[in-house]
């Protein structure tokens, strides 16, 4: 054994484990974050399952023949809630709002000639099959449960083929995007694609906010540690000017960061195309489907990002006022990280629109959810959600800035210290 190794090892472990930054970042944070994330996802899965059990399937019978009746009877036997409509085109179903009325996100169209084709197949012409057309609403949420309706319809057809006649029916999947039918575009595959690309922005936002908070906290804490803040506070300068000068410089950095993220994100979406959804093998890109934000969508997303960063920076400034030094400030800011990580990670997997109200309220209350919600909302043109988020985060920022200005105006900026588990004021002498 190396001489002194154990002694040094024990000392190092003591130092590391007593450092709140390491304790929070490596032990406490994962212990809190992942169970909470698991609870959120579990709750969402339960809710989705309950929704699926209550789901209604709309079947449009444009054939009216023998085989279409058999198919409808089969669907009825599975226990699914069924709404039957006769002689309507897919676009009429969408335009008349029948999906909303029947609380459904998917409908199956049995086309004219369906029974005739199956009769020919039954008579020995195996080259002929019956086709049912499945239309699923694509809401742009990109969650793991998106496109579930289309999958259920697909499973029904598979079940029918197994129970009644092998390979008798094939399905053709199409999407309803913003009220417009996109023939041949599989909503499930589109959701998978959106899910795969939806990782990029939340991760970037997560990194950007945490990094910006560290910079702002370090900036104030360094002023305290080096006592340059004490010097500044004794100059004949308005204390609010000191605070605003500090925050404004980080606003400029935040603005630049928002623009950089948007430029990269725009390029990524613009270059993304999908070639697997069409049964005919033709490529479908997101720009053509209108699943890329418009110019005003990008502006709103930028504003949302900017205000979120601003609120994070203001909060970091306030929190660092309670620390004695840079390490302390970084540790304090670490407490905020779960509020950044959990919404970012959860909203990658979850379709916000399908979440229960209570969970929605929790996500709405967390300011750092909003740019992630905005990134999805601008795709579907849901600008109301984005604007609400911007207003909410702006109000939150104003409140935090007010608290910060009060701190700077009093001696608390020098004397207040927050300790883990207790709050106490200390004096130097």
Contact footprint for other proteins (CB under 8 A): 226-228, 230-237, 411, 414-415, 424-429
Q: What is the Cα–Cα distance from 1 to 150, expressed in whole angstroms?
A: 64
Of the candidates 261, 157, 286, the one whose C-alpha atom is nearest the C-alpha of residue 206 is 261
Cβ distance to other proteins smaller for residue 61 or 223: 223
Cβ distance to other proteins smaller for residue 352 or 408: 408
**Shortest gap between Cβ of 218 and other proteins (angstroms)?**
12
Cβ distance to other proteins smaller for residue 224 or 370: 224
List C-alpha distances in Å: 97 to 102, 151, 152, 251, 424: 9, 22, 21, 45, 61
**Shortest gap between Cβ of 427 and other proteins (angstroms)?**
4
Cβ distance to other proteins smaller for residue 53 or 415: 415
Q: What is the Cα–Cα distance from 149 to 141, expressed in whole angstroms?
A: 14
3-state secondary structure of 165: coil
What the block records as the tokens of 395 is 């109000």
DSSP 8-state class, residue 288: T
Q: What is the Cα–Cα distance from 333 to 218, expressed in whole angstroms?
A: 10
Cβ distance to other proteins smaller for residue 103 or 231: 231
Of the candidates 272, 251, 308, the one whose C-alpha atom is nearest the C-alpha of residue 199 is 272
**Shortest gap between Cβ of 224 and other proteins (angstroms)?**
11
What the block records as the tokens of 266 is 């725009």
**Shortest gap between Cβ of 242 and other proteins (angstroms)?**
9
What the block records as the tokens of 99 is 């999906």
**Shortest gap between Cβ of 214 and other proteins (angstroms)?**
17
E-assigned strands of 163-312?
169-177, 180-182, 273-274, 284-285
**Shortest gap between Cβ of 359 and other proteins (angstroms)?**
42
The β-bridge partners of 173 are 134
**Shortest gap between Cβ of 19 and other proteins (angstroms)?**
23
Cβ distance to other proteins smaller for residue 247 or 374: 247
CB 231 within 8 A of CB 405: no
**Shortest gap between Cβ of 329 and other proteins (angstroms)?**
16
Of the candidates 73, 66, 37, 10, the one whose C-alpha atom is nearest the C-alpha of residue 339 is 37
Three-state SS string over 179-234 comes to CEEECCCCHHHHHHHHHHHCCHHHHHHHHHHHHHHHHHHHHHHHHHHCCHHHHHHC
Cβ distance to other proteins smaller for residue 250 or 397: 250
Cβ distance to other proteins smaller for residue 221 or 303: 221
Q: Provide Rg for the chain, Cα atoms.
A: 28
Cβ distance to other proteins smaller for residue 68 or 219: 219
**Shortest gap between Cβ of 426 and other proteins (angstroms)?**
7
Q: What is the Cα–Cα distance from 152 to 158, expressed in whole angstroms?
A: 10
């Amino acid at each position: 054994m190396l001489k002194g190794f154990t002694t040094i090892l024990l000392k190092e472990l003591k130092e590391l484990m007593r450092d709140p930054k390491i304790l929070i970042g490596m032990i406490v944070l994962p212990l809190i974050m992942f169970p909470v994330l698991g609870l959120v996802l579990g709750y969402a899965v339960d809710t989705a399952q309950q929704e699926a059990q209550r789901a209604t399937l709309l079947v449009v019978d444009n054939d009216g023949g023998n085989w279409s009746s058999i198919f409808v009877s089969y669907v009825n036997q599975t226990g699914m809630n069924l709404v039957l409509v006769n002689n309507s085109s897919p676009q009429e179903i969408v335009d008349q709002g029948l999906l909303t009325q029947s609380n459904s996100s998917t409908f199956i169209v049995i086309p004219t000639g369906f029974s005739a084709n199956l009769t020919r197949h039954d008579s020995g012409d195996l080259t002929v099959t019956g086709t049912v057309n499945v239309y699923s609403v694509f809401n742009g949420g990109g969650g793991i449960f998106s496109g579930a309706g289309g999958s259920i319809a697909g499973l029904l057809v598979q079940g029918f083929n197994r129970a009644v006649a092998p390979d008798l029916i094939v399905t053709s999947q199409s999407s309803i995007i913003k009220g417009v039918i996109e023939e041949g575009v599989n909503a499930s595959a589109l959701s998978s694609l959106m899910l795969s690309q939806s990782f990029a922005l939340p991760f970037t936002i997560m990194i950007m906010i945490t990094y910006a908070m560290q910079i702002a906290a370090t900036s104030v804490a360094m002023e305290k540690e080096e006592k340059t803040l004490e010097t500044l506070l004794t100059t004949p300068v308005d204390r609010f000017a000191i605070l605003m000068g500090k925050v404004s410089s980080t606003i400029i950095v935040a603005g630049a960061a928002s623009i950089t993220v948007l430029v990269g994100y725009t390029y990524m979406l613009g270059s993304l195309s999908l070639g697997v959804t069409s049964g005919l093998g033709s490529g479908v890109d997101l720009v053509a489907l209108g699943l890329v934000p418009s110019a005003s969508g990008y502006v709103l997303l930028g504003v949302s990002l900017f205000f979120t960063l601003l609120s994070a920076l203001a909060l970091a400034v306030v929190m660092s006022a309670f620390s004695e030094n840079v390490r302390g400030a970084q540790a304090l800011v670490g407490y905020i990280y779960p509020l950044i990580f959990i919404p970012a990670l959860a909203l990658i997997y979850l379709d916000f629109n399908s979440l229960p109200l209570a969970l929605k309220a929790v996500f709405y209350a967390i300011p750092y959810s909003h740019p992630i919600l905005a990134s999805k909302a601008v795709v579907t043109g849901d600008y109301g959600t984005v604007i609400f988020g911007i207003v909410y985060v702006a109000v939150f920022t104003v409140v935090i800035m007010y608290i910060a200005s009060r701190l700077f105006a009093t001696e608390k900026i020098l004397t207040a210290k927050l300790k883990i588990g207790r709050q106490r004021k200390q004096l130097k002498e």
